[in-house]
Chains A and B, each alone.
Chain A
Amino acid sequence: NAGVTQTPKFRILKIGQSMTLQCTQDMNHNYMYWYRQDPGMGLKLIYYSVGAGITDKGEVPNGYNVSRSTTEDFPLRLELAAPSQTSVYFCASSHQPGGNYGYTFGSGTRLTVV
């Protein structure tokens, strides 16, 4: 089925380790987003991309990096994991800007940093 695929679903990291959260979509959407979800805090935007080769910071970008070399893929990199990065991470994509389109979300990656 078409959609947004995130891997892995679960991961435990030690403080200082690094990892990449993978996100891929097969809907040919130009716009892709990374959010983190903390309990009781809703979703906060980390980074987003409006097309291949273009990325921009969201509300909480510190400690993360992204790249967008293809339309399909939008990986999120954590270089030096910290306990404050324990969260559920969601990737999403959208067809185009403007008000008529919502997002398609992946099923999330639950990350624990110990």
Chain B
Amino acid sequence: GNSVTQMEGPVTLSEEAFLTINCTYTATGYPSLFWYVQYPGEGLQLLLKATKADDKGSNKGFEATYRKETTSFHLEKGSVQVSDSAVYFCALRDSGNTPLVFGKGTRLSVIA
């Protein structure tokens, strides 16, 4: 079946540090890939997405590239801010009516 594996957290970084959160997936078809962000006390929000191999999704300084050869969709940001502190979820959606499959989430804390 389809699955998503994220790096274990929590991740603690200083402001302006470089961020990478690893995400790899297993899928039977050609999925679309997503990153969602959950700020404290809130629901999940779509951060970025990529729908086919080699696509790059980007938003708010975050980016991720759909790598079919390594089945990966790592999230990166060049310079994190305190306001980026949140839980980040990698997810995939296969073809048809299948619901999103989420990773376990990675908690990021950015300190000033």
B-contacting residues of A (Cβ < 8 Å)?
4, 31, 33, 35, 40-43, 45, 48, 50, 58, 90, 92, 97-100, 102-108
Contact = CB atoms under 8 A, between A and B. Distances in A.
B22 interface: no
B100 interface: yes
B15 to A, nearest CB: 26
Contact of A99 (B32, B36, B43, B89): B32
Interface secondary structure of B, over-half rule: loop
A41 B46 CA distance: 19
Given A102-B49, A105-B44, A97 B102 contact: no
Nearest to B33: A99
B68 to A, nearest CB: 13
Contacts, number: 58
Contacts of B44: 43, 90, 92, 103, 105
Interface string B80-105: 00000000010001111111101111
Contacts of B102: 35, 42-43
Q: How large is the interface on B (under 10, 10 to 19, 20 to 34, 35 or more residues)?
A: 20 to 34
Contacts of B36: 102
Nearest to B51: A99
Which 10 pairs from chain A and chain B are nearest by CB? A99-B32, A105-B43, A42-B104, A102-B46, A43-B102, A105-B44, A97-B97, A107-B43, A99-B51, A42-B102
A50 B97 contact: yes
Q: Which of A31, A41, A92, A103 has the most CB of B within 10 A?
A: A103
A45 B36 CA distance: 16
B99 A102 contact: no
B99 A105 contact: no
Contacts of A42: 89, 102-105
B89 A43 contact: yes
21 contacts: A4-B43, A33-B99, A40-B104, A40-B105, A41-B104, A43-B44, A43-B102, A45-B99, A50-B97, A58-B99, A90-B43, A90-B44, A97-B96, A98-B95, A98-B96, A99-B32, A100-B32, A102-B46, A102-B49, A103-B100, A107-B43
